[in-house]
Amino acid sequence: MLTLLSMFYYICLRRRSRSGTRGEALSSRRAVESGQRATLPISVEVEQYAKEVLDFSSHYGSENSMSYTMWNLAGMPNVYPSSGDFTQTAVFRAYGTWWEQCASAPLPFRRTPKAFHSQDYIELAFEEPVYPTAVEVLETYHPGAIVQIMACSLNPFSQNPPTDIRWEVLWAEEPTKVLTPQARQFSPSIKQLSFPTNLIRVEVNSSLLKYYTELDAVVLRGQKDRPILSLYKMPRIDICDLSDSDEDLSDPGHINLGNGYFDKLPYELIQLIVSHLTLPDLCRLTQTCKLLHQHCCDPLQYIQLSLQPYWARLSDTSLGHLQGRCTLLQRLNLSWTGNRGALTLTGFSSFMNACGGSLVCLELSCCHFLSEPCLEVISQTCPGLQELNLSSCDRLHPQAFTHISKLTQLRRLVLYRTKIEQTAMLSILTFCIELRHLNLGSCVMIEDYDVVASMLAVRCRSLRSLDLWRCRNLTERGLAELAAGCRLLEELDLGWCSTLQSSSGCFQHLARNLPCLRKLFLTANRTVCDSDIEELAANCPALQHLDILGTRMVSSSSLRKLLQACPKLLLLDVSFCSQVDARIVQELCGLFPNVAIKKSFTQ
């Protein structure tokens, strides 16, 4: 009834506005007429900056810092409209495809929907819930990473949160290339929302960017009152809607009408056809007929399962429905799922108990529902686990990590931004001797990285990649032991490790001992000098990625030697290297066109 009334008002107003250009003589009559109608309330438009950053998947800066960290996205802009690489902005950990090219990168999951591009996210809370009319993101460096903006029905500041939480997509698009690195105000046209919101989620994909994107602020514009004039639009059926209502077709009275040509196709062929469907389609197809139900529930269709694209709608019930089909599951991606009560220990344990037996890879990035018992369950149900990703699970209690040492087959372990402590770390290294890829970036609770390096050198001799980004106290002693013990090391990230001094000879020693080196990050190590670069040139012909941001001690001559000696070099970051100015960079780019030479700027 209300909808009809609103439509009636809407049509009347449209008629009136069309006749607005008539003469003055009519105006008095119109005024009388309008006086007799009910006056419509004028809705106040509210403009807000983000009040608080609630959650995010990664950032460039240090955990206790206000430089290049995600917390800078709250509040008013500090840099916009200037462009450049500034400390007061929010910067994600990676950009481009450089990290995907590394051996430490996980293989992509099959059945990832084409519409899912998100690599990182950030969730922001605003003061007042509004019906959004616009969301503006102030991007101050290498814009263009934003691929999705979503709104939540939950008020994060409310004392009594409701049990059903809805996320709606306000805007989504695939990544597009933006040609300039200059600042811009990004304000896409957003969908109308049927509920008020003060919780916004921005998802990004930086793969097309030439350098780190930097965000300064997010503005939420909206109306406090539900807009009356707009026709209520039926929400279109979201393709990512994971059907919760797939029930078994177990009605015995159903007459079998035959499945047409499907009856003639061999089993394996139907399996092949069905293997191309995305998960929601697979679940919907289950409900069509008994034959396709059998095919769609065949555990062979669930060897790999990625639930990350459906994080907004995944619940214990969904896991429960999928459980029966996942007995042969080898690779499971639950990254970003389960937050705000969507998944619980019960649902997770039940699923792992049913499906953990053959599990080889488990992605649990940003899974804040995880608790110590969950990790215990993993250690008990997944004896063959080789890959475990707990990236940004920063709410996980340090005690939880002790269970990981039971996973003795582990080859890839990601603990970026977790609170793992020294004892648990050493315990893991004692037992998980098959480790090939280890990520300890921003693990601030580990007290002595020299001891960790020493243990790696003794126990994990097959190590291929090691990420020690921002490890605060690794010295030349630890590095020397690492180089001596882990001779197969190909990737080493020592970015922002300020305690390493080139004068100790540690980088030269590293170059001489690691001939397989493909990636070396010495970001913001102010002591890297010409001799280090020359030693790399002489000993590491396989070098592909090198980052020496922020040193004053490297000149163009040693860089030339490096570029000549390392034909496979693809990435060279010389940002803020005072001896390497823009002119030299341009010259080197001309001489070595296959190398992406990065030179960031502040103004």
Partner 1 sequence: MYGENYLLNVFVTPVGSPTWGACFLMCSKSSVADGVGGWRDYGVDPSQFSATLMRTCERLVKEGRFTPSSPVGILTSGYYELLQNKVPLLGSSTACIVVLDRRSHQLHTCNLGDSGFLVVRGGEVVHRSDEQQHYFNTPFQLSIAPPGAEGVVLSDSPEAADSASFDVQLGDIILTASDGLFDNMPDYMILQELKKLKSANYDSIQQTAQSIAKQAHELAYDPNYMSPFAQFACDNGLNVRGGKPDDITVLLSIVAEYTD
Q: Residues 442, 444, 445, 446: what is their CA dihedral angle, to the nearest 10 degrees?
A: 70
Binding mask 503-532 for partner 1 (x = CB under 8 A): x--------------------x-xx-x---
Closest residue by Cα to residue 442 from 390, 399, 512, 378? 390
Residue 553 within binding range of partner 1, rule CB under 8 A: yes
C-alpha–C-alpha distance, residues 89 and 214, integer Å: 6
- Could you give phi then psi for residue 303, rounded to 5 degrees? -80, -40
C-alpha–C-alpha distance, residues 85 and 368, integer Å: 31
Nearer to partner 1, 86 or 302 (CB): 86
E runs forming strands in 268-409 = 304-306, 331-333, 361-363, 387-389
The least CB distance from residue 241 to partner 1, in Å, is 41
Name which position in 575, 580, 585, 599 contacts partner 1 (CB under 8 A).
575
Binding range to partner 1, per CB under 8 A, among 163-171, 238-246, 384-392, 546-554: 546-554
Q: What is the 3-state secondary structure (H, E, C) of 565-590?
A: HCCCCCEEECCCCCCCCHHHHHHHHH
The least CB distance from residue 577 to partner 1, in Å, is 8
Residue 12 within binding range of partner 1, rule CB under 8 A: no
DSSP 8-state secondary structure symbol assigned to residue 508: H
Q: Are 567 and 542 in contact (CB under 8 A)?
A: no
Nearer to partner 1, 88 or 350 (CB): 88
Residue 441 within binding range of partner 1, rule CB under 8 A: no
The least CB distance from residue 597 to partner 1, in Å, is 17
Name which position in 204, 370, 520, 549 contacts partner 1 (CB under 8 A).
549
The least CB distance from residue 140 to partner 1, in Å, is 14
Q: How many helices (H) and strands (E) are present in the chain, helices listed first?
A: 15, 21
Nearer to partner 1, 290 or 472 (CB): 472
Binding range to partner 1, per CB under 8 A, among 4-12, 216-224, 349-357, 543-551: 543-551
User: What is the enclosing helix (H) or strand (E) of 47?
Assistant: strand 45-49
The least CB distance from residue 53 to partner 1, in Å, is 13
For partner 1, the binding residues in 406-425 under the rule CB under 8 A are none
Nearer to partner 1, 119 or 523 (CB): 523
Name which position in 6, 185, 344, 498 contacts partner 1 (CB under 8 A).
498
The least CB distance from residue 526 to partner 1, in Å, is 5
C-alpha–C-alpha distance, residues 124 and 24, integer Å: 50
Question: String of b and e for 461-497 (b: at least 16 CB within 10 Å)?
Answer: eebbbbbbbbbbebbbebbbbbbebbeebbbbbbbbb
C-alpha–C-alpha distance, residues 214 and 135, integer Å: 17
Q: Residues 193, 197, 199, 204: what is their CA dihedral angle, to the nearest 10 degrees?
A: 20
Using CA atoms, how far residue 385 sits from 382, 418, 424, in Å, is 5, 20, 18
For partner 1, the binding residues in 53-112 under the rule CB under 8 A are 61-62, 64-68, 75, 78, 85, 87-88
Binding range to partner 1, per CB under 8 A, among 108-116, 218-226, 253-261, 544-552: 544-552
Nearer to partner 1, 61 or 356 (CB): 61
Binding range to partner 1, per CB under 8 A, among 8-16, 232-240, 313-321, 498-506: 498-506
Nearer to partner 1, 503 or 594 (CB): 503
Q: Which residues bind partner 1 (CB under 8 A)?
A: 61-62, 64-68, 75, 78, 85, 87-88, 498, 501-503, 524, 526-527, 529, 549-553, 575-576, 578, 600, 602
